[in-house]
Homo-oligomer: A and B are copies of this chain.
């Protein structure tokens, strides 16, 4: 018997029929002897409907009141799912975020969970009940309703799992797990049975949008085993945990990519302290987020070339800023390219293996793909290449590291 927290997203509870299907699935697990806490989102489309209502009475809805309004979405779902369970003679009880004391800070619309009092849930579980909790919402110190921002239901589930010391937190989505790469790009992409938190964070932040980054961080911090699986199909999904001692570790877990990048370079700036700040300060002031940063000493030994990437939507504004400050910097030239993509190899196994990078570069070279930027971390190697090479590059790497096969060594 295990204590399991399950989370079902908006698509999984999008219609009365789907809510009934979720009830059946919950009862399977409950019938197998597990203690079950279910976290649900608003029915898909509901949050947008509420936002439209808010927009029709106010141009800039008051943030506190917007939370009061949005919180009704999940509240409706918990009631409907609990009814569907009761209809099947499964004893269930619903709770809003406030009712189970999901205490957050007071940052309306993007609050952060600070504390959960899991006593009430624990008592219901002990009595054999399924507990259904509204995701995405909480309550601040003064009793005001707060919401965690989009995707916050994942975080609710993980936080509840941590507070209850659950054996597993299962996130049900419309995909059946985490893949070695996007199956739409590489048909041979394989579902991973397991992946580490660190790898998942790199995969998620690089554009594999299966889970909210905050939820993964939270799960890692509190060591909550996280499983991603499909609401609509049977299957084991992908388990996200810490690396286990003696566990046969794949060299590379997956290949992530990001199409939304753009690259900017300041050429020939004097190689002296503070130059990075002089360039990135005005960029940060304009609220532009910077992703990769690479700096090289130029061949003359006196000047340097400074390159970074931003989201493609911010490219024009960033270029304008660089042109404006190029004079003060004494830069020779400003260049940019919005038609680039980033491809990354992710795997904790690469820590202890030499030669990963050279295998990667060799595979790309064989296909005639020119690498524009390289950046590495302990468990990731990222390269920037021309947009047109994205699919070719990802497929070449997937094959080179034999990711279609169960356990590459």
Q: Which residues of B contact A143 (CB under 8 A)?
A: 99
Nearest CB to that of A71 among chain B residues?
A: B75
In the assembled complex, the Cα of A20 lies from the Cα of B58 at a distance in Å of 9
In the assembled complex, the Cα of A87 lies from the Cα of B23 at a distance in Å of 41
Chain A positions 13 through 32: 1 when the CB is less than 8 Å from some CB of chain B, otherwise 0: 00010011001000000000
Nearest CB to that of A87 among chain B residues?
A: B58
Given contacts A50-B76, A53-B76, contact A84 B68 (CB under 8 A): no
B64/A84 in contact, CB under 8 A: no
Interface: A321 (CB within 8 A): no
B68/A75 in contact, CB under 8 A: yes
A79/B86 in contact, CB under 8 A: no
* Closest Cβ–Cβ distance, residue A146 to chain B (whole Å): 13
In the assembled complex, the Cα of A65 lies from the Cα of B61 at a distance in Å of 29
Q: Give the number of times this chain occurs in the complex, counting copies.
A: 2
Given contacts A50-B76, A75-B72, contact A84 B98 (CB under 8 A): no
A54/B80 in contact, CB under 8 A: yes
Given contacts A75-B75, A86-B62, A143-B99, contact A57 B80 (CB under 8 A): yes
Interface size band for A: 35 or more
Query: Which residues between 129 and 168 of chain A lie within 8 Å of chain B, taking CB atoms?
Result: 143, 145
Interface: A103 (CB within 8 A): no
* Closest Cβ–Cβ distance, residue A99 to chain B (whole Å): 6
In the assembled complex, the Cα of A94 lies from the Cα of B54 at a distance in Å of 14
Given contacts A58-B86, A143-B99, contact A65 B79 (CB under 8 A): yes
* A/B interface sample: 26 pairs, CB < 8 A: A16-B53, A23-B57, A54-B83, A57-B80, A57-B81, A57-B84, A57-B87, A58-B87, A59-B87, A61-B86, A62-B83, A62-B87, A64-B82, A65-B82, A65-B86, A65-B94, A68-B75, A68-B78, A68-B94, A68-B96, A69-B76, A69-B79, A69-B80, A72-B72, A72-B79, A99-B143
Write the residues of chain A forming the contact surface with B, with a CB cutoff of 8 angstroms. 16, 19-20, 23, 50, 53-54, 56-62, 64-66, 68-69, 71-72, 75-76, 78-84, 86-87, 93-94, 96, 98-99, 143, 145
